[in-house]
Amino acid sequence: MSDIIQLLPDHVANQIAAGEVVQRPASVVKELLENAIDAGSTNITLLLKDAGKTLVQVIDNGKGMSTTDARLCFERHATSKIKNAEDLFNLNTKGFRGEALASIAAIAHVELKTKQIEEELGTCIKIEGSKVISQEVTSTPQGTSLAVKNLFYNIPARRNFLKSDTVETRHIIDEFQRIALAHPNITFILHHNNNEVYNLKSSNLRKRIVSIFGTKTNEKLVPVNEETDIISIQGFVAKPEFAKKKRGEQFFFVNDRFIKSSYLNHAVNSAFEGLLDQGVHPTYFIYFHVPPNTIDINIHPTKTEVKFDNEKALYAIIRATVKHSLGQYNVAPLLDFNRDATLDTPYEFKDKQRVSTPKIIVDPTFNPFNNNPIESKPVSRETTSFSPSKTTYQSNFKKDTGNWESLYANLDIETQHSSNSQELFQSEKETETTKTFQIQKKYILSLIKSGVVLIHQTLAHQRVLYEEYLEHITVKEANSQQLLFPINISFSQTDIEMIKEMKADLESAGFVFNEFSDDTVVIGGIPTSISESQITLILEQLLDDVKLEVPDASFSHFDVMAKSFAKSLAIKTGTILSGKEQETLVNNLFSCKEPSVSPLGKPTFKTLTLQEIDTIFSK
């Protein structure tokens, strides 16, 4: 039998390796920025075209490479960071595998220009699909410029899997923000399609956070600092009142490297226990520094998942540190049994006679229907107890004592009529509520001829609102209510750009935008179906849905907007509904075009026939 196992050609092996390292343009951005940081750069510029599909270029002022290093860096497993296996457990740099540039060069057109400070001329290398096209001497500034063009040009199937420019740009900005947050001492500049998106000057940690997420972020931050033998912690957590429905602004950094850890995230959440409403998540920017030999960052190609030697101890320290900061800055409630000194009686008034309470005398002969004025009697000022029910009222009324008792003649009849009306109302209400029943403030049970229908009130209301909003946005002309006082809402710079992209669609839904700035938007009108207090919630939900890739590359924002509006405004679990409200929701649900599923595809109701119910009790 002939042999069937053979070695892969180098270009095929490189393309397979590229699939692990380079998943999308954001992967290229991450690798190139980390290389620039490892080169000791203090100024890094990122240039993008078409969300990185056409061009990703990183220019730095680092130490550069020699001619030999420039050529060798594109070879697989070529690295300056590791000499032996033990070095894997004592890493202080970003890139160390020696796979990134080789993988990128296998699936794109790459142009490298680099020069060391002591050299007069630099090196320019052009590579296409792992093949070196040219290498020559060139005049270039100190540092390195690496341009990656036409990503996945030789793997069209992989290129077709890329999302829309909006989604891919969002991923790139996420990577850019993580790296910029980890290195506030470096100046970062980002240009997309010749437009400047970020220009982050070298600063401290707090200023870097504010420059990325907007000036309003500054008032939300609570400092976190702790030094122990096994870990050093610094950073910020946001005050509980600024918690969000999504987990967007949650950042962990270990030794200046962004990581993801559900275990440590639980530690922070437990520190906020009792301070947050159900379903919301805290915002935090927490930086750890631990000995490099106590973590393993080589367990995933993206290097965002790490393994700690002493996770339980880190959990306890992080939880206690965050909880201490919240209490130290008077964010968490404290038990205070001290008396209020302002309520104490001053010493100079201790022996003085207190002011007496005036005595009120009631005239038992007073008749309010007497038309003769009654002489006011003197009121005694003797000290006695005060009774508010014994106050004298003196007025001038016409005397009509003959039939004034008739005013109370029909009192019993009216009382009886009121009682009968109340009983009738209670009877009608009971009759009405027997059609539907609310279970655990979450489900609605409705009776039908063949059995019962169990309806999820939140998902059902989402379906009703979704179809209403979609009809108003796409078919009917949306009505807008002008606000007497325009509302200023703060967002991060990237969120502002996303709102600008959706501006036309939002306006067709009834929003009116007066002004845009770098981190605020002024809204002068809103759809008639929402209130002012819901504006921020709706826009945040919409932005989160766009970031989570709800829309496809060719899909309109209309559907996303309708889904976001429905999720934001639907009645929530725990809401008590009257019998009339239950019946209205049931009728509206079954008037929809697709009543059986929510906007996100979850079932809205379940029907149980009498036969199914009998089967339950016949076992």
Q: In one letter, which amino acid is 238?
A: A
The DSSP bridge partners found for residue 198 are 190
Q: In one letter, which amino acid is 438?
A: Q
Sequence-distant (6+) residues with CB within 8 A of 426 are: none
How does pLDDT run across 556-601, given as a tens digit for each residue?
Answer: 567 777 887 888 888 888 888 888 889 889 999 988 888 899 988 8
Instruction: Tell how strand 109-115 and strand 122-128 pair up.
Output: antiparallel
What pLDDT does residue 372 have?
59
Long-range CB contacts for residues 291-298, cutoff 8 Å, separation at least 24: 291/230, 292/89, 292/90, 292/91, 292/92, 292/255, 293/89, 293/90, 294/230, 295/254, 295/255, 296/89, 297/91, 297/254, 297/257, 297/259, 298/88
What pLDDT does residue 38 have?
87
**Cα dist from 481 to 478, 521, 566, 569, whole Å:** 10, 17, 19, 18
**How many CB atoms neighbour CB 540 within 10 A?**
19
What pLDDT does residue 511 have?
86
The DSSP bridge partners found for residue 456 are 443
What pLDDT does residue 373 have?
52
8 A C-beta contact, residue 308 and residue 318: no
The rounded radius of gyration (Å) of the Cα atoms in the chain is: 36
Structure token pair of residue 465: 């609102």
What pLDDT does residue 412 have?
52
DSSP string for 503-564: HHHHHHTT-EEEEE-SSEEEEEEEETTS-GGGHHHHHHHHHHHHHTT-S-TT--HHHHHHHH
Question: With the CA atoms of 566, 568, 572 and 576 taken in that order, what torsion angle do they form, in degrees rounded to the nearest 10?
Answer: -80
Task: Count CA atoms closer than 13 A to 210's CA, side-chain side.
Answer: 15
How does pLDDT run across 396-416, given as a tens digit for each residue?
Answer: 444 444 555 555 555 554 444
What pLDDT does residue 389 have?
41
What pLDDT does residue 573 have?
86
Segments in the chain below pLDDT 50: 96-97, 334-341, 343, 347, 374, 376-401, 413-433, 550-555
∠ CA 401-407-413, rounded to 5°: 150
Long-range CB contacts for residues 327-331, cutoff 8 Å, separation at least 24: 329/222, 329/223, 331/222, 331/239, 331/240, 331/275
How many whole angstroms separate alpha carbon 27 and alpha carbon 21?
7
How many whole angstroms separate alpha carbon 89 and alpha carbon 306?
12
Max CA separation in the chain (angstroms)? 132
What is the sign of the dihedral through the CA atoms of 576, 581, 585 and 587?
A: positive
How many whole angstroms separate alpha carbon 158 and alpha carbon 23?
9
Q: Where are the beta strands (DSSP E) in 176-267?
A: 187-192, 195-200, 221-227, 232-238, 250-254, 257-259
Domains and CATH numbers, the chain: 10-200 (3.30.565.10), 207-328 (3.30.230.10), 446-605 (3.30.1370.100)
Q: In one letter, which amino acid is 271?
A: A
What pLDDT does residue 145 have?
95
Tell me the angle at which helices 535-547 and 557-569 cross, rounded to the nearest 10 degrees: 130
How many whole angstroms separate alpha carbon 402 and alpha carbon 121?
120
Single pTM value for the model: 0.65
Q: Is 495 exposed, middle or buried (0-12, 13-18, 19+ CB in 10 A)?
A: buried
How many whole angstroms separate alpha carbon 524 and alpha carbon 513?
6
DSSP run (H or E) holding 12 = helix 10-21
**Cα dist from 187 to 181, 184, 486, whole Å:** 11, 7, 36
How many whole angstroms separate alpha carbon 467 and alpha carbon 541?
18
**How many CB atoms neighbour CB 129 within 10 A?**
17
Structure token pair of residue 137: 């001497």
Sequence-distant (6+) residues with CB within 8 A of 209 are: 181, 217, 221, 236, 285
